[in-house]
Structure 1
Amino acid sequence: LQGGLRVTQFNVERILKAFMPDAIPESFAELKIPLKVTATDFFGHKLAVLSGGDLHSALAASAAIPAVFRPVMRDGRLLIDGGIYNPVPFDLIEDDADIIIAVDVVGAPTKGGRKYPTSVDLMFGATQLMMQSIIAAKLRQCQPDILVRPAVSKYRVLDFMKIDALMAETADIKDELKREIEKAVEARAKVDTSKRTKQVGGVARKA
């Protein structure tokens, strides 16, 4: 008991092991595509960017929602949900990718079938609102090439067993995303062509 309330925190590492596909390797070094995983350094008061070592503990730290999942201790740091500090961290790869696709799965509070939200709904809803305010502030400063926002608001953070329904509901996004990627690739190609033309012109003038 803490302050008269019973607080139960799930072990997020165990849950991830139960749901994670076998194809996911145990370490960052085994990945074919470079990956950065974010978490929040609770006592360090800053964002933690994990890109090496044990992959599973990094994913667990990134998903360690306060009061629901236990924090993850890694490299001497107590880590919690990366979304607390940076919900959609597309800015971390601005120098590493030609086209940046940001995916916002934070969602927002919905009424559902209840007239009044439960205390748990209020807690998660308040967190969603906080994260959306962070995202809005970031988007005013910089923009990804593509921003995707799947319709996930009606699903709650603990709806693990509804993954098939969630994936089915967001399937239509694939076609939209494909079109957006094609547009971004074409736009990028035009920019690169323009740069090469200017460079050639500059060399010609010098000659």
Structure 2
Amino acid sequence: MKCWAKNVSPCCDTQSREHYISKGLFSDKNIYVENAPFLGGVSKEIGKASLTRNCLCKKHNERLSIYDEEAIHYGKSLKYCLELSLKRRNSNARKFSLHTKSINNDRFNRWFIKTYLGLVEFFRYDSAIDNDELAKLVYSETSIKHYLHIEVAMAMQEDVQIKESVSLAPLEKNEKTIGMQVELYGIRLNGVFSDRPEYVQKPIKIKFNEHKQGPSCLVKFV
């Protein structure tokens, strides 16, 4: 049995296949994968149903679906805000009502860590935080928001192209992997892990502003 959560609680007897990246983030059956280490570094179009590996037992895998759903909700929220912005762009209205989409911060954090654990063996350096400790955070019964510091890593005025794409890369320091960078639907996030509750941060807010009318849509983590 291959399961990165084996030290969290006893596994069941059934091996399960876990997607490297939540398949619901992509609407097409096939996706283009570029420089993927799990494909030997090649770039190719592949069916998203094939982008899986044996790294969890069935019991532990089934408990993760709610976190996949939160990441999908986040992606759809970004797309909604973009579509609303494009619709309003040529409006003559003086001011718009602000549309708000809320993301569950704790669930998204767990999705972030579980995605990392599915890829960590392909990174150049070992984790600065023990992988078993990270696995325990994913399945913790209490909030883990202070164990992960996530921030938007975008430059001012940087062009954003919101589309169904995901890019992942390790964050490294002193020859250790300290976290992961995730660019999901055009918005780049840096997440750094801790094995103790040391991070206190303001919730992330991603604002969509119209040139004349001001704020149009807001994606916020709560």
- What is the TM-score with the length of structure 2 in the denominator? 0.27
Which structure features the higher share of strand residues? 2
Question: Quick check: which has more Rg, 1 or 2?
Answer: 1
- What is the TM-score with the length of structure 1 in the denominator? 0.28
Which structure features the higher share of helix residues? 1
